[in-house]
Amino acid sequence: MNITIALAGNPNSGKTTLFNALTGSNQYVGNWPGVTVERKEARFQLGDDETLLVDLPGVYSLSPYTIEENITRHFIAQHRPDVVLNIVDATNLERNLYLTLQLMELERPMVIALNLIDEVEKRGGKIDCARLSAAMGVPVVPISAKKRQGFDELFQKLHGQAHAAVVPHPLEQYDDSTRRAVKELIVAMGGASAHSVFDAEEHYEHRDDRHRDDDHDSSAPHAHIGGYADEGDKDQAPPTAWVALKLLEGDQTIAQAAYLTPDQKHSIERAVRDYEARGREKYPGIDSLTLLADCRYGVIERVLKEAKVEKKVTSQDEISARIDKIMTHKYLAFPIFLVIMGVMFFLAFGPVGSFLTDGMDLLISEHLTGWVGAGLSAVSAPEWVRSLVLDGVIAGVGGVLTFLPQILIIFLFLSVLEDSGYMSRAAFITDRLLRKLGLSGRSFIPMLVGFGCTTTAVMSARGVENDRDRRMTIMLTPFMSCGAKLPVYGLFTAAFFPGASYLVVFSLYLLGMAVMVVCGLLLRKVTFKEGDTPFLMELPPYRIPAVKNVARRLWDRAKDFLTRAGTLIFAMSVLIWFLKSFSFSFQMVSDPEQSIFGVIGQAVAPVFSVMGFGEWRKIVALLSGLVAKEAVVSTMMVLYSASDNAMLASMLPNFFTPLSAYSFLVFTLLYIPCVSAVAAMRRELGSWKYTLQAMAMQLITAGFRDRVDHWVGDRGAGGRDPDPARAGFCAHQGHVGL
Ligand code: GDP
Ligand code: MG
């Protein structure tokens, strides 16, 4: 007899090791049709059977979201191997059995190879395989792929299953509500031969009948439900109950491949809705996908209890569990999260941060400017060189560098939180909130990265597997205030809200998140309407952060910031200096209003007054922010001819009231991200349509701020911007003794 064995399991469960150990060197390596996922197979003799062993890609689940998952489930469901060899990591039974149950749902004869058993024994653990086997209803063989132990029994069981062909029925162990839903779905699809919905011929013959042929031939060609290209090999009927389970999960790949009549679709929808309604009596707001995951984990828990597999609890796990009682507490978790974030901003923008920033400012403006100025005088450099170096480069680049300490404090904090394991908890806590937006805790990670850099965040959204979630995450991350905006916040809060800097900055971050939530809800109503994915994550134990990891991340951040200051901000400062120091006839002018910038700026000012910024320097500063957000500060330094931060801060009240300053910060928070972020968004979204939609969303919210601003202003809470002329300020005089 010719038999086919499919090897399936989680990544890192030892699949490759076992495959190599079983087959030696006679492997054939190719690709799965149409995709670049490796397909390995090997032939060997099992007793008197010619055996083909096919290595399936490593997966955690059989959802339709990745190519690997699609290949694995398609191969087992529609190519029907004689035996499924499920390799399970014995040191991580609970998670591995989640896949095992889903493989069992595919109703093929199975053998479970309990790998890494040597590792379990080394840790002093023990697993009773006979009990586990009885509880699962599938033979379980303890093996060590690495030490080549247990292979004889494994071969014996594989041979036995291939000939006896005992098919598992995990549904028998599922809860009543789930079984009832599956039954209803099968009836909705047309009874026992429900898999006939994938048979085109059957569909055309009976297209007007409500009921289909019960003597349906399941080995006749069926519609392909792989979710990836397959080169026309014979696809058989997938198991009926499995199809029902997938429809219950809301699996679109399957729903689309089936030939369902409107009537059938309607009944299916109703069964799914009823299932959710039953589940919501216990878990409010839950969806069918999560309910099924919960049902499977319920079975696993029972099986592990029956098999008397004790979870080895280490002291580290115990401590973590105790900390988590508080950190992930139903009501306390979110306030704790906010307090932690508040402390971070207090450190960065409160006394500690401003002390360090003042130190940097002193270093740059007093010492560096002094030395360089003296040096230039000593070599009697021409006036324009002096102006370029002191008013252009040092003012611009130095103005941004001043904020390095504050940025480092923020990132020191974030990296300690990440390395300690708290960030996973934060993802867990925010999962409920994000779920309301149709996203999951998975999107929290890119959003968190968004606090650092929007470009990086957009790229890290690749980790969000569901395409719709990924798109939405990308479009929303720009609302997470990026690190490059910190210098702008630092400058303005020091000038206008010295006592409450950190509160103001915190409020901006919170505002960004609030706007994100509103836009997320809108996107969900308008652009992305369907589907949810469950979020299953393991919480790693709490750890004392490793100095090496934290230092590494901090250094990466600092390097990134310094590189940008040295290149992009440097170039911008020189350009801005040139445009504000020279007129159209390339004459150096002392009054910036006659400069190239002054002339253009004043010409376009009326357009921008719609946005609430009549004064041209503010507009130019914001425009330069499109290249890099830090440039808002460096441009202001150059345009207002300030030699250092303290001086610029003391000049700003001539141009802003506290209210309009806050409004300016809100605009900076919300308007279009820098060009590199926009380019990354375009690339990752793969469409201008979504990219432009995201940009429009940002501009509209930023513009909306102006309306609120007017409304507050008109109620006498601060009024419009002061008139610089009336304040007796003349920018071209340079130094003002305010
Ligand atoms: P795959 O991702 O499922 O292909 O897993 P690999 O075969 O690459 O194995 C992952 C890791 O587990 C490797 O470091 C293997 O050496 C190790 N490993 C595999 N099987 C065993 C085993 O039985 N015992 C021990 N101690 N280690 C194993
Ligand atoms: Mg491998």
Is the pLDDT score of 729 beyond 50? no
Is the pLDDT score of 719 beyond 60? no
Q: Are 188 and 267 in contact (CB under 8 A)?
A: yes
Q: Report residue 154 CA to chain centroid gap.
A: 41
> For residue range 470-504, what is the model confidence (pLDDT) as tens digits?
888 899 999 998 888 988 999 999 899 988 888 99
User: Is 145 touching ligand 1 by the criterion CB < 6 Å?
Assistant: yes
210 CB-near residues (< 8 Å, 6+ apart): 190, 261, 263
Residue 15 alpha carbon, nearest atom of ligand 1: 3
* CA dihedral sign of residues 27, 28, 34, 36: positive
User: Is 63 touching ligand 1 by the criterion CB < 6 Å?
Assistant: no
User: Is 12 touching ligand 1 by the criterion CB < 6 Å?
Assistant: yes
User: Is 16 touching ligand 1 by the criterion CB < 6 Å?
Assistant: yes
Q: What is the pLDDT of residue 53?
A: 95
CB neighbourhood size of 391 (10 A) = 20
User: Is 90 touching ligand 1 by the criterion CB < 6 Å?
Assistant: no
In the predicted model, what is the mean pLDDT of residues 198-222?
Answer: 65
Q: What is the pLDDT of residue 411?
A: 79
> 291-300, 598-607, 668-677, 708-717: which range is least confident on average?
708-717
Is the pLDDT score of 714 beyond 60? no
> 154-158, 509-513, 623-627: which range is least confident on average?
623-627
Q: Which ranges constitute the DSSP H helices of 465-569?
A: 467-476, 486-496, 501-526, 547-564
Q: What is the pLDDT of residue 85?
A: 97
Q: What is the pLDDT of residue 168?
A: 92
> 187-201, 344-358, 420-434, 450-464: which range is least confident on average?
187-201
User: Is 99 touching ligand 1 by the criterion CB < 6 Å?
Assistant: no
Choice from 146, 149, 151 to test ligand 1 binding pocket (greatest atom count within 8 A of CB): 146
In 640-703, which ranges are E strands?
none
* Residue 230 alpha carbon to ligand 2 centre in Å: 23
pLDDT band for position 733 (cuts 50, 70, 90): very low
Closest residue by Cα to residue 414 from 322, 318, 481:
481
User: Is 150 touching ligand 1 by the criterion CB < 6 Å?
Assistant: no
Beta bridge partners of residue 8, listed in sequence order? 86
CA within 13 Å, CB half, 337: 18
Residue 503 buriedness (CB in 10 A; 0-12 / 13-18 / 19+): middle
> For residue range 146-186, what is the model confidence (pLDDT) as tens digits?
999 999 999 999 999 999 878 999 999 999 999 999 999 98
Choice from 12, 20, 143 to test ligand 1 binding pocket (greatest atom count within 8 A of CB): 12
Is the pLDDT score of 590 beyond 70? yes
Let me know how long the chain is.
Answer: 738
User: Is 567 touching ligand 1 by the criterion CB < 6 Å?
Assistant: no
pLDDT > 90 fraction of the chain, expressed in percent and rounded: 22
The mean predicted confidence, pLDDT, of the chain is 82
589-618: buried (b, 16+ CB within 10 Å) or exposed (e) per residue?
beebbebbbbeebeeebeebeebbbebbbb
Q: Which two tokens stand for residue 598?
A: 């002054």
Q: What is the pLDDT of residue 442?
A: 72
Q: Report residue 720 CA to chain centroid gap.
A: 40
Q: What is the pLDDT of residue 102?
A: 96
* Residue 14 alpha carbon to ligand 1 centre in Å: 4
In the predicted model, what is the mean pLDDT of residues 521-537?
Answer: 66
Residue 144 alpha carbon, nearest atom of ligand 1: 23
User: Is 92 touching ligand 1 by the criterion CB < 6 Å?
Assistant: no
Q: Are 405 and 353 in contact (CB under 8 A)?
A: yes
> For residue range 129-150, what is the model confidence (pLDDT) as tens digits?
999 999 999 999 999 999 999 9
pLDDT band for position 394 (cuts 50, 70, 90): confident
> For residue range 403-441, what is the model confidence (pLDDT) as tens digits?
788 778 887 888 888 778 887 788 777 777 777 777 777
Is the pLDDT score of 613 beyond 70? no
Q: What is the pLDDT of residue 215?
A: 62
Closest residue by Cα to residue 263 from 222, 212, 221, 214:
212
pLDDT > 70 fraction of the chain, expressed in percent and rounded: 86
Q: What is the pLDDT of residue 211?
A: 57
Is the pLDDT score of 55 beyond 80? yes
Q: What is the pLDDT of residue 643?
A: 76
In the predicted model, what is the mean pLDDT of residues 620-627?
Answer: 83
Starting at the edge strand found earlier in the chain, the sheet holding 27-31 runs: 27-31, 38-46, 49-55, 2-9, 83-89, 110-115, 140-142
648-672: buried (b, 16+ CB within 10 Å) or exposed (e) per residue?
bbebbbbbbbebbbbbbbbbbbbbb
If you take atom 24 of ligand 1, which residue's CA is the nearest one?
A: 116
Q: Report residue 407 CA to chain centroid gap.
A: 22
Contacts 24+ apart (CB under 8 A), 695-704: 697/475, 697/519, 697/522, 697/523, 698/478, 698/479, 698/670, 698/671, 698/672, 698/673, 699/671, 699/672, 701/515, 701/519, 701/670, 702/611, 702/666, 702/667, 702/670, 702/671, 703/610, 703/611
Distance CA 574, CA 187 (A): 74
Distance CA 166, CA 534 (A): 32
Residue 493 buriedness (CB in 10 A; 0-12 / 13-18 / 19+): buried
Q: Report residue 714 CA to chain centroid gap.
A: 41
612 CB-near residues (< 8 Å, 6+ apart): 660, 663, 667, 705, 706, 709, 710
The amino acid present at 203, given as its one-letter code, is: H
What is the pTM (predicted TM-score) of this model? 0.54
Q: What is the pLDDT of residue 195?
A: 64
Distance CA 239, CA 103 (A): 12
**Residue 497, helix vs strand vs coil:** coil
* Residue 98 alpha carbon to ligand 2 centre in Å: 19
pLDDT band for position 728 (cuts 50, 70, 90): very low
CA within 13 Å, CB half, 286: 20
CA angle 606, 607, 611 (to 5 degrees): 100
Q: What is the pLDDT of residue 398?
A: 80
Distance CA 417, CA 426 (A): 10
Distance CA 521, CA 533 (A): 17
119 CB-near residues (< 8 Å, 6+ apart): 90, 91
Q: Are 115 and 89 in contact (CB under 8 A)?
A: yes
Distance CA 410, CA 451 (A): 9
Q: What is the pLDDT of residue 210?
A: 57
Closest residue by Cα to residue 579 from 638, 625, 657:
638
Is the pLDDT score of 522 beyond 60? yes
Distance CA 658, CA 681 (A): 34
> For residue range 309-348, what is the model confidence (pLDDT) as tens digits?
766 666 667 788 888 888 888 788 888 988 988 888 888 8
* Residue 310 alpha carbon to ligand 2 centre in Å: 28
Residue 725 buriedness (CB in 10 A; 0-12 / 13-18 / 19+): exposed
Q: What is the pLDDT of residue 734?
A: 32
pLDDT band for position 194 (cuts 50, 70, 90): low
Alpha-carbon distances of 388 from 576, 578, 624, 638, rounded to whole Å = 10, 8, 18, 10
Residue 13 alpha carbon, nearest atom of ligand 1: 3
CB neighbourhood size of 361 (10 A) = 22
Task: Specify the DSSP element, H or E, that contains 366.
Answer: none
> For residue range 68-121, what is the model confidence (pLDDT) as tens digits?
888 999 999 988 999 999 999 998 888 899 999 999 999 999 999 999 999 888
Q: What is the pLDDT of residue 738?
A: 26
User: Is 121 touching ligand 1 by the criterion CB < 6 Å?
Assistant: no
> 250-259, 521-530, 567-576: which range is least confident on average?
521-530
In the predicted model, what is the mean pLDDT of residues 6-35?
Answer: 84
Q: Greater confidence, 714 or 23?
A: 23
